[in-house]
Amino acid sequence: MWKARVKVIALLKDQYRKIFDRRRRKFYYANHSKSKVLPRQSWRKPRYTGKRGFPRDIAAVFTSDVAAVRIQRMWRNVLVKRFLWALVRSSHDQVWDPVQGKHTYFQREREVMFDDKPALLGSQPWDPHFVPDWTVDRVCIFFRRMGLKQYLRRLRDYEVNTHI
């Protein structure tokens, strides 16, 4: 059974191509086998893809359209992350606790105080535009965007940051 399954997977990968249709904006599957029984093109995946032990899908033929789809998906992920970070920052307040000597986070809707930064923010700074918290790398990025690339080596050599 295992050898038969391996052979069928190899045939699926060899005989089918996943191609992007620009007009419909979705993928279709083209069959390149000699079989007269199987359809030449179909919007549906081949029958056994996604079943136990078989591949979930066939890799797409890499074209400029597929590259554009992948870039769009990645950009949408970036936008969703930025939206979630903004949502978390708008529903919480960062409060300095002088007793503990660190920031605490107040969730306004439930009126609860947390010691740790919300997990959705991950390693993101609470306020990315707060200049005194910038690291050497962030300062270098700022200088590069300002067109002052010639100063980057010196900034790194002297470890220039904005900590007071």
Whether this prediction's pTM lies above 0.75 is answered by no
Structure token digits, residue 92: 């919480």
**d(Cα 146, Cα 148) in Å, to the nearest integer?**
6
pLDDT of residue 62: 78
In angstroms, the Cα distances linking 31 to 10, 15, 20 are 14, 6, 14
Average pLDDT over the chain, rounded to whole? 83
Compute φ and ψ for 75, nearest 5 degrees. Answer: -65, -40
Structure token digits, residue 103: 């920031």
DSSP code for 60 = B
| Boundaries of every domain in the chain | 2-61, 63-123, 129-164
**d(Cα 51, Cα 94) in Å, to the nearest integer?**
48
Label residue 164 by pLDDT band (50, 70, 90): low
Q: Does pLDDT of 37 surpass 90? A: no
Q: Which helix (H) or strand (E) holds 30?
A: strand 26-31
pLDDT digits (tens, 9 = 90+) for 70-106: 899 999 999 999 999 999 999 999 998 898 888 899 9
Using an 8 Å Cβ cutoff, are 120 and 128 in contact? no
pLDDT of residue 162: 65
pLDDT of residue 134: 81
Using an 8 Å Cβ cutoff, are 94 and 68 in contact? no
Q: Work out the percent of the chain whose per-residue pLDDT is above 70.
A: 91
pLDDT digits (tens, 9 = 90+) for 104-149: 999 999 999 999 999 998 888 888 878 787 888 888 888 899 999 9
